[in-house]
Chain A
Amino acid sequence: MTLRKLCIGLGLCLALIACGCGRRSGTSITVAGSTAFQPFAEKLAEQFMTKRPDINITVQGGGSALGIQSARSGAAQIGMADLVELPPEASELLGVTVARDGIAVIVNPENTVTNLSLAQIRGIFSGSIKNWKDAGGADQPVRVISREAGSGTRSSFETIVGGISLAGAAIIQDSNGTIRETVANDRDAVGYLSHGLLNDKVKAVRMDGVQCTEKEILAGQYKLVRPVFLLVNGPPAGAAKDFIDYILSGEGQETIRLNGLLPAK
Chain B
Amino acid sequence: MQQAGDRIVKWTLMALAFTALASLLLIAIFIFKEGLPFIARVGLADFLLSSDWRPNEGHFGIYPLIIASLLVTLGAMIVGAPLGIACAVFLNEFVSKPVTRVIKPTIELLAGIPSVVYGFIGVVVVAPLIRSNFGGPGLSMLCASLILGVMVLPTIISISTDVLASVPNAYREGALALGATRWQSVHMVILKAGRSGIVAAVILGMGRAIGETMAVIMVAGNTAQIPHSPLDSVCTLTAKIAMEMGSATGQHRQALFAIGVVLFIMIMMFNALAMTAMKNRIVKK
Residues of B within 8 A of A186 (CB): 131, 137-138
Complex Cα–Cα for A151 and B138 (A): 24
Residues of B within 8 A of A216 (CB): none
Q: Which of A148, A152, A171, A178 contacts B233 (CB 8 A)?
A: A171
Q: Which of B127, B232, B235, B249 contacts A185 (CB 8 A)?
A: B127
The answer to whether A150 touches B137, judged by C-beta atoms less than 8 angstroms apart, is no
17 contacting pairs across A/B (C-beta < 8 A):
A64-B247, A148-B222, A149-B244, A149-B252, A150-B55, A150-B244, A150-B246, A150-B252, A168-B223, A169-B232, A171-B139, A172-B243, A174-B242, A174-B243, A181-B123, A182-B123, A182-B139
The answer to whether B217 touches A174, judged by C-beta atoms less than 8 angstroms apart, is yes
Judge whether A35 is part of the interface by a CB distance below 8 angstroms.
Answer: yes
Judge whether A62 is part of the interface by a CB distance below 8 angstroms.
Answer: yes
Judge whether B3 is part of the interface by a CB distance below 8 angstroms.
Answer: no
The answer to whether A62 touches B246, judged by C-beta atoms less than 8 angstroms apart, is yes
Judge whether B207 is part of the interface by a CB distance below 8 angstroms.
Answer: no
A172-B222 CB under 8 A given contacts A150-B252, A185-B128 = yes
Count of residues in A whose CB is under 8 Å from the partner chain: 27
Closest chain B residue to A172, Cβ basis: B222
Complex Cα–Cα for A65 and B127 (A): 33
CB distance from B256 to the nearest CB of A (A): 10
Chain B, range 211-241, C-beta contacts under 8 Å to A: 217-218, 221-225, 232-233, 235
Judge whether B56 is part of the interface by a CB distance below 8 angstroms.
Answer: yes
Closest chain B residue to A173, Cβ basis: B222
Residues of A within 8 A of B139 (CB): 171, 182
Complex Cα–Cα for A171 and B137 (A): 8
Query: Total A-B residue pairs with C-beta atoms closer than 8 Å?
Result: 71
Residue-wise interface mask of A (139-172) relative to B, using a CB-CB cutoff of 8 A (1 in contact, 0 not): 0000100001111100000000000000011111
Closest chain B residue to A150, Cβ basis: B247
Judge whether B248 is part of the interface by a CB distance below 8 angstroms.
Answer: yes
Complex Cα–Cα for A168 and B232 (A): 12
CB distance from B129 to the nearest CB of A (A): 11
Complex Cα–Cα for A189 and B136 (A): 11
Secondary structure call for the A interface: mixed
Closest chain A residue to B218, Cβ basis: A178
Residues of B within 8 A of A66 (CB): 246-247, 249
Count of residues in B whose CB is under 8 Å from the partner chain: 30
Q: Which of B55, B124, B235, B247 contacts A172 (CB 8 A)?
A: B235
The answer to whether A149 touches B225, judged by C-beta atoms less than 8 angstroms apart, is no
Closest chain B residue to A182, Cβ basis: B139
Residues of B within 8 A of A152 (CB): 247
Residues of B within 8 A of A169 (CB): 223, 225, 232-233
The answer to whether A151 touches B247, judged by C-beta atoms less than 8 angstroms apart, is yes
The answer to whether A149 touches B56, judged by C-beta atoms less than 8 angstroms apart, is yes
Residues of B within 8 A of A191 (CB): none
Residues of B within 8 A of A65 (CB): 247-249
Complex Cα–Cα for A182 and B222 (A): 12
Q: Which of B56, B123, B247 contacts A63 (CB 8 A)?
A: B247
Residues of B within 8 A of A178 (CB): 218
Complex Cα–Cα for A182 and B137 (A): 10
Chain A, range 58-87, C-beta contacts under 8 Å to B: 61-66, 69
Closest chain B residue to A188, Cβ basis: B137
CB distance from A191 to the nearest CB of B (A): 12
Complex Cα–Cα for A128 and B55 (A): 22
The answer to whether A171 touches B123, judged by C-beta atoms less than 8 angstroms apart, is no
- 20 extra interface residue pairs, beta carbon distance < 8 Å, beyond A169-B223, A169-B232: A62-B246, A63-B247, A65-B247, A65-B248, A66-B246, A149-B54, A149-B55, A150-B247, A171-B139, A171-B223, A171-B233, A172-B221, A173-B222, A174-B222, A174-B242, A178-B218, A181-B123, A185-B123, A185-B124, A186-B137
9 closest A-B pairs (Cβ-Cβ)? A150-B247, A172-B222, A63-B247, A148-B243, A171-B221, A63-B246, A174-B243, A65-B247, A65-B249
Complex Cα–Cα for A152 and B128 (A): 29
Complex Cα–Cα for A262 and B243 (A): 27
Complex Cα–Cα for A178 and B242 (A): 15
Chain B, range 137-171, C-beta contacts under 8 Å to A: 137-139
Residues of B within 8 A of A143 (CB): 137
Residues of B within 8 A of A168 (CB): 223, 225
Name, among A62, A65, A150, A178, the residue most crowded by chain B CB atoms within 10 Å (CB to CB): A150
The answer to whether A69 touches B249, judged by C-beta atoms less than 8 angstroms apart, is yes
